[in-house]
């Protein structure tokens, strides 16, 4: 998932959109215009949205939804596309390792019943999202970690393999020369796929899968497997998923916050903006040095997406159209 040159490909349906080569500043729009630009017809179901540029993943999910599959199947199969893509260096096989050279995965799913499953610090298994789903469906637990999660994955028939590709190993060896840890604003280190879908029955599910921050401390776990932070789904209201510096998402329980704001009447766009505001308006927030992005959908199929810095985008497949759209962002200085 390369997000470079995103402006070139950005469609006119997004906010912060490219017109020719000119960025239109959304603050110049009325809130009504802005809302119209960021949402679609309420009845246009099914639909799937994902963080970043993830057209292959949304296309897979769309196929599942069009065939009458449920939202959970769509999200799992969509996320699996990125987990198997060795070129994507923040998800599944080919993910960048921690500072000790170990690739460790975090993932979670949540379904229309409000059930959830999650894996943290999973090693040697490509499809963390499938393990998370099975934790939800086949165990009395919500979360499995480390060796136990790996053993469980093997017990359900998943194959153990080395997730550190030559390219990621090379990048890590290069990083070790200076060993500077900069999580931070470099969006190339953030490529987590978070996906939300509504199926033909109007039911919602979501999933999130990542190798976490590149060169993180051994044992570090981010927001992505934490229900309420990296992902939250309420089939009555809507769903949200996060990407970016997980520590900041956890501190504000971002995805749960967005769903609760939608429950109170905010649109998905307004809710995503408020969740970013909670992060940047904290006393002494050093938001200029890190990125967080959210996407959200409500029960009616309206979508929203917002980030601290430019560079974040959402992919949406709805009404036969698979598009990658640049998000509007808080920090207009960059």
Least distance CB 225 / ligand ASP (angstroms): 9
Closest to ligand ASP by CB, 139 vs 286, is 286
Least distance CB 212 / ligand ASP (angstroms): 4
Closest to ligand ASP by CB, 52 vs 64, is 52
CB 115 within 8 A of CB 122: no
The Cα–Cα gap between 119 and 109 comes to 10
The Cα–Cα gap between 145 and 122 comes to 6
Q: Name the residues that contact ligand ASP, by CB under 6 A.
A: 90, 190-192, 210, 212-213, 222-224, 243-246
Contacts of 171 (CB under 8 A, 6+ apart): 89, 96, 214
Strands 303-307 and 328-329: parallel
Closest to ligand ASP by CB, 65 vs 129, is 129
The Cα–Cα gap between 147 and 151 comes to 6
Least distance CB 312 / ligand ASP (angstroms): 10
Closest to ligand ASP by CB, 224 vs 235, is 224
Least distance CB 243 / ligand ASP (angstroms): 4
Closest to ligand ASP by CB, 120 vs 153, is 120
Find the angle CA(31)-CA(288)-CA(274) to the nearest 5 degrees: 30
Indicate the SS3 state at residue 329: strand
DSSP assignment string, 13-36: TSSS-EETTEEPPGGGS-HHHHHH
Least distance CB 326 / ligand ASP (angstroms): 17
CB 301 within 8 A of CB 47: yes
Catalytic residue chosen out of the listed positions 38, 192, 243, 315: 192
* Nearest alpha carbon to residue 333 among 297, 287, 294: 287
Q: Is 192 one of the catalytic residues?
A: yes
- 133-142 CB contacts, 8 Å cutoff, 24+ apart: 133/72, 133/76, 133/109, 133/207, 136/109, 136/111, 141/117, 142/116, 142/117, 142/118, 142/227
Least distance CB 250 / ligand ASP (angstroms): 8
Closest to ligand ASP by CB, 199 vs 223, is 223
- Active centre residues (catalytic): 192
């Amino acid at each position: 998932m390369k997000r470079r040159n995103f402006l070139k490909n950005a469609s006119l349906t997004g906010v912060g959109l490219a017109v020719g080569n000119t960025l239109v500043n959304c603050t110049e729009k009325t809130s009504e215009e802005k809302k119209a630009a960021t949402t679609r017809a309420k009845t246009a179901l099914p639909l799937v949205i994902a963080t970043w540029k993830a057209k292959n993943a949304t296309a897979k999910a769309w196929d599942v939804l069009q065939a009458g599959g449920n939202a959970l199947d769509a999200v799992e199969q969509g996320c699996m596309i990125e987990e198997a893509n060795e070129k994507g260096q923040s998800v599944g096989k080919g993910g960048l390792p921690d500072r000790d050279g170990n690739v460790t995965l975090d993932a979670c799913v949540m379904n229309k019943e409000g059930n959830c499953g999650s894996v943290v610090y999973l090693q040697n298994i490509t499809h963390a999202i499938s393990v998370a789903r099975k934790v939800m469906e086949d165990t009395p637990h919500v979360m499995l970690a480390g060796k136990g999660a790996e053993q469980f994955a093997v017990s359900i028939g998943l194959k153990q393999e080395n997730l550190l590709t030559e390219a990621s190993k090379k990048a890590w060896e290069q990083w070790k020369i200076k060993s500077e840890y900069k999580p931070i604003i470099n969006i190339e280190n953030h490529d987590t796929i978070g996906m939300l879908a509504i199926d033909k029955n109007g039911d919602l599910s979501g999933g999130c899968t990542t190798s976490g921050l590149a060169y993180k401390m051994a044992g570090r776990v981010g927001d992505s497997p934490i229900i309420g932070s990296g992902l939250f789904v309420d089939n009555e209201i809507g769903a949200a998923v996060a990407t970016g510096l997980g520590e900041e998402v956890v501190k504000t329980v971002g995805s749960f916050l967005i769903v609760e704001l939608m429950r109170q009447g905010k649109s998905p766009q307004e809710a995503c903006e408020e969740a970013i505001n909670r992060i940047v308006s904290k006393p002494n927030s050093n938001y200029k040095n890190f990125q967080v992005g959210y996407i959200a959908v409500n029960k009616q199929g309206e979508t929203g997406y917002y980030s601290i810095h430019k560079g974040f985008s959402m992919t949406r497949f709805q009404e036969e159209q698979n598009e990658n759209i640049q998000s509007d962002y808080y920090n207009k200085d960059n």
